[in-house]
Amino acid sequence: MNNVLTFLIVAVIKIAVTVGVLLTIVAYTVWLERKVVGRMQNRWGPSRVGPFGLLQPLADGLKFIFKEDLTPPYVNRGIYLLAPVLALTMALTSIALIPIAPNVTVDGVTTPIQITGVLDPSAPHGSSDINVGLLIILGITSVGVYGIALAGWSSNSKYSLLGSLRASAQMVSYEVALGLSLIGVLILSQTFSLRGIVEQQQGWFWNWNFFKGGQFIAFFIYLMAAFAETNRIPFDLPEAETELVAGYHTEYSAMKFAMFFMAEYANMVTVACLASVLFLGGWSGPVFGPPILHGLLPVFWFLLRVFCFLFLYIWVRGTLPRFRYDQLMAFSWKFLLPLALANTVITALIVALRA
Amino acid sequence: MLHLTLFLIFAAICAAGAVNLLVQKHPINSALSLIVVMASLALLYLLLGAEFVAVVQIIIYAGAIMVLFVFTIMLLNAGVEERSRGSRVALMFGVPGLLIFAAIIGWVMTRHNSVNSELAIGQMYGSAKAIGRLLFKDFLLPFEVTSVLVLIAIMGAVVLARRGE
């Protein structure tokens, strides 16, 4: 078959499968959250639709589609419609950069399990990706702020505006700590390529950046910044319902609200993927058995890590109360930022002394 | 061919965004047009083979600086701009200035028309490693002096913004 045609077909299949799996994970994270938080609060959670309430996400989706799609009268219409699209697009795009597993061969065609990954015979493991992958994800996240900022402003409502101001200030502040926490990993791995970073951490768990590189402080900074970036409890000030109704998406209903909702959960998945890739060895894990398992086990190990992160998100939500806004800002600028800077300096010093 | 097509598409988007920035009456629309200009400029850098510069363009300009612009417009709740009838000075000096500028660009482009070869990503002198080496080795002193300058600017802003005691 023609080379270009093969490439195109493989690319389309990869995109379709990845986005399909991502959306399924997003839908079932919502189910898991309701179920787990329910159990933590001595309730059942969804239990009526299907066994264990497993069809609840489908029912929710149908409800969102058939609800009245209301546009309030005094909104800035163009921007009001643009904002949820922007938020969801940016949330779904960043998954393209995540290296999920090494190469697989299906029907004589070999390809890395990563949308932006390409075969590269000169690379040590036979495939490579763009050398600024990590930065592109940071760029996409920083553009995603507009979705929330514009949603609040264009709604022409005081609760929305306050929520989106809080959200933008919070996301901009925590982006600093988040970015600085990654620098230790970058100094150790000497590349921006996410695939390259994962390949350096293969083998047993002591090869992970978390242990081998001593990046556990960076990991906890990343984790806390990630909670804030995705507007999750205990940092969910932008949608604090006791003060702001629902924050920036107060004026949104039906599918437009669902888009913000999906964007939040897709961002959670991306952040979890990035944490696995940077700190916890990506797809590394024992691989055995017939060839088909060789292809699937790395994907399983990767998804297992992502699942653990999502569970942690839910666990924290069921446990911690919300911060006060000044505490939130002080925590980022006065605690996380100096800590991240110290981590950067110490890591650089160790690498320099070893060299 | 693909290269040229992509260039034309993003150059057109960039120019359209710039024109839209001037034409729009509401400041937030202008700010959004400026973001479009920044993003399409980043893609043009990518076509030049400078992937690091492209991403930094997105993170810093589209992601950080423009967020502050939009933030300020939202906070001040700036309304529709007032139109003046244009100043005569701008017309007198602007039009000849524009013509001279266009002539210089045309002259440079006709003289150096040999550099229109295509580049793959990572091929140009724009990788993170090359830029890091330039900043922290070859031009270390100017770089550090600039950072002190930025620090002074930040402190100045803090002093100006602080209320008198």
Q: A–B: how many Cβ contacts below 8 A?
A: 67
User: Does position A1 have pLDDT exceeding 60, yes or no?
Assistant: no
- pLDDT for A149-181, tens place per residue? 888 888 888 888 888 888 888 888 888 888 888
Mean pLDDT of A325-344: 89
Of the pLDDT bands very low, low, confident and very high (cuts 50, 70, 90), residue B153 is very high
- Mark yes or no for CB contact B122/A146 under 8 Å: no
What does pLDDT average to over chain B? 82
- pLDDT for A140-152, tens place per residue? 888 888 888 888 8
- pLDDT for B86-134, tens place per residue? 677 777 888 888 899 999 988 887 776 655 555 555 566 667 778 888 8
- Mark yes or no for CB contact B67/A150 under 8 Å: no
HSE of B52 in the Cβ direction (CA atoms, 13 Å)? 15
Residue-level pLDDT at B13: 92
DSSP string, A18-52: HHHHHHHHHHHHHHHHHHHHHHHTT---S-SSSGG
DSSP-based three-state secondary structure for B85: coil
Residue-level pLDDT at B125: 66
Residue-level pLDDT at B145: 93
User: Does position A9 have pLDDT exceeding 90, yes or no?
Assistant: no
User: Does position A68 have pLDDT exceeding 70, yes or no?
Assistant: yes
CA B122, B124, B127: angle at the middle one, nearest 5?
Answer: 55
How near does any CA of chain B get to the CA of A188, in Å?
14
Among the partner-chain residues A79, A132, A149, the one whose CB lies closest to the CB of B55 is A132
HSE of A100 in the Cβ direction (CA atoms, 13 Å)? 27
Residue-level pLDDT at B111: 76
Residue-level pLDDT at A147: 86
User: Does position B151 have pLDDT exceeding 90, yes or no?
Assistant: yes
Judging contacts by C-beta atoms under 8 Å, the chain B residues touching residue A131 are 51, 122, 127-128
Residue-level pLDDT at B114: 57
- pLDDT for A198-218, tens place per residue? 888 887 777 777 777 778 888
pLDDT: which is higher, B19 or A287: B19
Residue-level pLDDT at B155: 92
Of the pLDDT bands very low, low, confident and very high (cuts 50, 70, 90), residue A251 is confident
DSSP 8-state code for residue A201 = T
What does pLDDT average to over chain A? 84
- pLDDT for A268-291, tens place per residue? 899 999 988 888 887 887 877 777
CA A115 to chain centre: 16
pLDDT: which is higher, B16 or B73: B16
Rg (chain B; Cα; Å): 20
Among the partner-chain residues A131, A142, A149, the one whose CB lies closest to the CB of B74 is A149
Among the partner-chain residues A135, A139, A161, the one whose CB lies closest to the CB of B74 is A161
Give the position of tokens 């002198």: B125
- Mark yes or no for CB contact B128/A143 under 8 Å: no
Judging contacts by C-beta atoms under 8 Å, the chain A residues touching residue B67 are 142, 145-146, 149, 168, 172
Residue-level pLDDT at A345: 92
Residue-level pLDDT at B78: 66
Peptide bond into A234 cis (omega under 30): yes
CA distance B34 to B69: 10
Mean pLDDT of A241-245: 72
CA distance A84 to A73: 18
CA distance B3 to A339: 44
- pLDDT for A80-98, tens place per residue? 888 899 889 988 888 888 8
- Mark yes or no for CB contact B74/A153 under 8 Å: yes
In Å, what is the CA distance from A154 to each residue of A56, A143, A168?
A: 32, 17, 14
CA distance A169 to A182: 21
In Å, what is the CA distance from A77 to each residue of A65, A74, A154, A280, A330?
A: 20, 8, 7, 44, 36
- Can you give the pTM of this predicted structure? 0.83
Residue-level pLDDT at B164: 64
Of the pLDDT bands very low, low, confident and very high (cuts 50, 70, 90), residue A46 is confident
Q: State ipTM.
A: 0.77
DSSP 8-state code for residue A280 = S
Torsions phi, psi for B86 (to 5 deg): 85, 145
What residues of chain B, 6 to 35, have a C-beta less than 8 Å from chain A?
A: 28, 32, 35
**Which of B1, B67, B75, B133 is the best residue to mutate to test the A interface, defined by the most A CB atoms within 10 Å of its own CB?**
B67
What percent of chain A stands above pLDDT 90? 4
CA distance A192 to A277: 12
Q: Residue type at B77?
A: N
C-beta of residue A320 within 8 angstroms of C-beta of residue A234: yes
User: Does position A128 have pLDDT exceeding 80, yes or no?
Assistant: no
